Structure 1
Amino acid sequence: MGSAYGGEWKPKKPDDERFIGKPGEIKTTKDKNGNLRLTKIGEDGKAVSERHFSDHGYPRHHSIPHDHELVWEHNHFHWGDTKNYWDGNVPEFKQYGGNDMDTIFPACNTLEDDRFESIAEFKDCIGRGDEIEFEWKGVHFGMSGCQPKPEHRIMAYLWNQPDTEQYFDTPDDALEYIVAGDRLRDIITQIDVLSRAF
């Protein structure tokens, strides 16, 4: 996601291009499932917030739409607070600085682009609050590192199956999650990652 030597952050995968741009612009993209995303670019040319038009397979925790803050620290970002709109009163996702809203649909990442190469890569991804959608043995799962309750920092669940969630305090704990009969730690580099940001 950036240089180990402190250089400017650079996109690693095609879909990462949405996190940089002209100050004030809003980029419109789609995830692999065809769900719209609006990404607002801040004054420094890096994304500051993103609106998702998906419930990430868990409607109890995500309204459609919902917003995420992006917090940049040490030349990489993590997902900040999530803002849900349960009452249907959704504010306009405003641009600033006079730039036009750009509609772009960049090339989606391939399964290989999004595959975890190591346990350390997964721990960094979920530890910074990413939302991961993946499949293993034909079973669809979701995992989110940005839950609002600090005591339930990481949540894993069966996609679109309410009340299947399990909570974990750390990324190491989340690697013990049983995925279609296998421990996630043992298969993390083999799962088909359908969606992730980092």
Structure 2
Amino acid sequence: MTVRILLCDDHAVVRAGLRALLSSAPDIEVAGEAATGEEAIALTRRLRPDVVLMDLQLGEGMDGVETTRRILAAEEPDGGTGTTPHILVLTTYDTDADITRAIEAGATGYLLKAERPEELFAAIQAAAEGRTALSPPVASRVMSQLRTPRPTLTPRERDILGHLVQGLTNRDIARSLYISEATVKTHLRRIYDKLGVTTRAAAVAAAKEQRLIP
């Protein structure tokens, strides 16, 4: 069975390279290309691919995780009877935060761009059949997370951390979120505890390293 693919990557050169690579596989057909999340959603509705090969970082607009979530949550277009496509993430990012967000959004697989072509082909076939496909380093991270679950930030803590990354003071954060400075300090203490840090600078560094903020 030929697997129909939609490529979603904001770099034209990467898409061209993937199209050329996938053309060498007799059982894989590239049905279309998208440079943004919005294009990917529209083309998924129109082309009905079996698998969407999804990058995580798509420049301006929604990222690959949000695009994945919206594609999988969308109703069948025009009352059709086609099945929802499987999403196979193909990215250079392998942080715990990226992996967790993608899996929680519904991605069937998570592959790194450093993988060999035959491993990519096999992952596409696995994803088309609804089977999980993970790069070995990603699988190791997932197992590690299962053994030692990391504390997660609440939506409010993520809001505050995002403002912190922008360099805002406690007063500025309080004004922006319409809460008191005391409440901001309370949330910051919890954020520090969860990230295992003791200073604002360390929290910002951890947020960037772990890609906790979209």
Higher helix fraction (1 or 2): 2
By relative contact order (CA 8 Å, sep 6+), the higher-ranking structure is 1
Does TM, normalized by the shorter one, top 0.5?
Answer: no
Task: Give TM-score scaled by structure 1 length.
Answer: 0.27
Task: Give TM-score scaled by structure 2 length.
Answer: 0.26
Larger radius of gyration: 2
Higher strand fraction (1 or 2): 1
